[in-house]
Amino acid sequence: MFAKIKEKEKAIKLRKEGLSYREILKEIPVAKSTLSLWLRSVGLSERQKQRLTDKKMASIKRGWAAWHNIKLATKNKIIEDAKKQIDKISKKELRLIGIALYWCEGHKEKKKCVQAELSNSDPLLIKIFLKWLFEICEIPKSELYFRIFLHESSRHRLDIVRKFWSDATGFSLCNFQKVSWKKNKVRTKRTNIGENYFGLLRVTVKKSGNLNRKIQGWIKGICESCRVV
């Protein structure tokens, strides 16, 4: 009995020092219900309450950080495992990749003949498209021209944007003089803003109406081969 009284007194003392129930239980191995009964009448100062709140928040942050690290590690493993499944891309595979890419992002022929064009903000996608044009369609670099589409709020970053696309494509800066300005909305839900915003690049193949028609034929060939038409 005397030992229990000493434990209770110690528990009350530790609580008044601002320790949490979990910390006290490490010092005094009793049932949590017993500890709760001992401490129910113990009042804490505002400073002690704040200390407990701070410790609880720190514990939550540590838990969140651990969860975030696990999630990030899982994500990276999935990406790395998937990357290993891609072997060297053959010319035939590159042809199909480019056709599918153009099918999704390229400009289609409608009532009148249009040039083969593709617009996108992803520099890697643009680089794949260029590789496809050079190696599969055998388009010389001299037959390409570019236009940047940029929001007006980024006028002050135009030189940076031009250099970004020049570095991404391997073409000199003089190829990126054409710019179309997009009106800015006062309120926007766009996330591609700030220093990581480089607008959208349109790649156009000169006098490429027949190439556009050929691409449409390739697309139809894929559909027939897959028996979806």
3-state secondary structure of 111: coil
pLDDT of residue 63: 87
Residue 27's Cβ-side half-sphere holds a number of Cα atoms within 13 Å equal to 16
CA distance 33 to 53: 21
CB-count exposure of residue 166 (10 Å: 0-12, 13-18, 19+): middle
pLDDT of residue 47: 67
pLDDT of residue 151: 94
pLDDT of residue 81: 95
CA distance 107 to 203: 10
The predicted-structure confidence for 171-189, as pLDDT tens digits, reads as follows: 999 999 999 999 876 455 6
Q: Which stretches of the chain score pLDDT less than 50?
A: 186
pLDDT of residue 203: 97
CA distance 226 to 170: 36
The predicted-structure confidence for 34-73, as pLDDT tens digits, reads as follows: 888 888 767 665 666 677 777 778 888 888 899 999 999 9
